[in-house]
A and B are shown apart, each in its own frame.
Chain A
Amino acid sequence: MRKQVRLVFRHDGQLALIIAAMAIIFSIVSPAFRSTGNLVSLLENYSVMAIMAAGLLVVLISGGIDISFAAIAAVTQYVVALILINAGGNWLVAFALAAAFGGLLGVVNALLIYYLRALSVIVTISTMTCYFALLMFVTEGKSLFNLPDWFTDDLTFWSIPFPVLVAAIVLIITAFILSRLSIGRQVYGLGGNPEAAKRMGSNVLGLQCFVYGYSGLMAGIAGLVQAHRVEEVVPNALIGRELDVLAAVVLGGASLTGGIGSVSGTILGIVLLAILQNGLTLLGVSSYAFGFVTGVVILLSVSATAYTAKRQARSSARHAV
């Protein structure tokens, strides 16, 4: 366990160093990078991704994977926007509705995974297809533009944009759950060794409902924040983001086999992608090249992690002899 903790810290440390180096280079080369305005808009651009990443992180730690969160975000966004347009409401109602509806769709995932005894990736691909296709079928792909004014007005708190504030609160809550609450520790246990977790008395069904429900809840909130930012609801705007978010969480050191991952790492993963994209844009590199650079960064990062783990395993095997 201690070795795992050290591994996490080392991964975080490496990422932080790389980010710091990139930030220094970019701010020397391009003065625009240093400006507060740039940094704030950078944070705002990535806040929706950060909220979804918080949900996905919890699922990955539990040893599962959720592909359906972008579809859940799209469905929740549409349903909540319809209710707000027709019945009115305020931010409290909006958040409650988004959390409840997103969470509900997430729990459906959990129940299917538990009772069908199927792999989470297969079930969530199926539900993603169902949720999103039904949304497109019912709405016929029509966007909603007539959102209430209170919903689309820019909000800032102590000069922090509203999306950034929501993302920060969500990440702090996730970190608190994962590191301080019993249920968070049980999620790590479930991901590390499901059989052991079961024998220790963890309620697997309950945990899975929590994990996928949490991911759905985060997706719902992310959808709401996205609608607030772009001031419209486009049914297929969020689709296709699921693998981007997965890449960010994985860059942050979360393991696909479960049991490993941290909120701090996830934040660093997102910041890395954000700074990379922003810096390249400011340096005048075509935005079309960004995909290639991101892909190479993902490949280098996962290869380096696997390589160090392999070398460590080899050296510890030698010590054992």
Chain B
Amino acid sequence: MGRQLLLEHIAVPGIETFEVYRKMGGYASVEKALKTMTPDQVTEQVKSSGLRGRGGAGFPAGMKWSFLDRKSDKPRYLVCNADESEPGTFKDRYLMEKIPHLLVEGMITSSYALGAKTSYIYIRGEYMYVLQILEKAIREAYAAGFLGKNILGTDYSLDLYVHPGAGAYICGEETALLESLEGKRGNPRLKPPFPAIAGLYASPTVVNNVETIAAVVPIVNLGGDEYAKVGVGKSTGTKLISASGHINKPGVYEIELGLPVEEFIYSDQYCGGIWKGRKLKAVVAGGSSVPILPAELILKTAKGEPRLMTYESLSEGGFISGTMLGSGGFIVMDETTCIVRNLWTFARFYHHESCGQCSPCREGTGWMEKVLHRIEHGHGQMSDIDLLVDVAKKIEGNTICPLGDAAAWPVASAIRHFREEFEYHVKFPEKVKNPKHFEIEPFVSNKQLVMA
């Protein structure tokens, strides 16, 4: 197992309580920041750490912080995005449930750096029981003097609240999240202005993912330069990976960025290999939105180099032969998986979650779901395959927010890499009538597959 910067103490009994968390060295970053550093010095450490947003986009966190309008006379806000809803992603829930004080500590240290006096954690409504775990941790932190007025006797004061969403994936998009936090429908805003200038209540606001904010704790404790020594190149630090699907050991794993994908899938320290002794067919490496890759391309790049768990290595080859690290939602499929049926569930998801504001997304996601439904159920035509590609192209880049792209990429990539399988559904409608068609008789590609 590599270095653990977030989950090091996850197995310590009682780590969800303030007492045990503190005993294990918790809240040291708050003491260090508030007593020995200026807010700008904290931001500098986050910059030098090379930390990239852990929600999916991978934008440098320190740079995002530096965009915050510090000259405005309006209050500044830090909002934590705990709306984790990208299919395949459950790492934030794990972190908040098992070690809630890590997020609370990160929120205090980060709010200090940004000059926020009130901060919110926006958590998806379905995580209602996790909200209660966080609220308990927050009450404990208030009681210990780490929240409220004059924290640790300094002149810095902060109030922290948890706010529930109510079942809308779109609210994970930061401007939709802010609309929702204001008590409105979660329709994304046109940018600019960016939240750093006009965010919550039109005030300067930073929105960061749970894991990003948690990572500020080891960054301040170790120093940004030390943190940057973990990982490879511009992929610094550790990353929480949510592993699901046809593997022996689904769960959340903290990895040092740079771990070979093959080791992650097959090592007993991580996924423990493919279940039921089957072979690997495909992986969606970074949450449902990122391009799906067949076994041979997820293990090795098109150039034949081992694929690594880094932002750069996973995207090597662009969308022709690569994918993205995204949110780290790592979905594994064995040889019995029907790629069309899996894609249909994704298309149904995006259609369901489109906010309806932009026509290409509202209409296009519905059409993709319908066309995939008919192909999967044996009513498709050959022309449907190109129709899907065409619809996906017309959504991509033509919407206010990235949900349109997120809906288009899985469709485009599944057809790029598994076109034969779509054609099979059209050619042999009787064979695909049973929903478990490829469990009964796995699909064999004419392409030579390199299996591990």
Q: Verify that A and B bind, or say they do not.
A: no
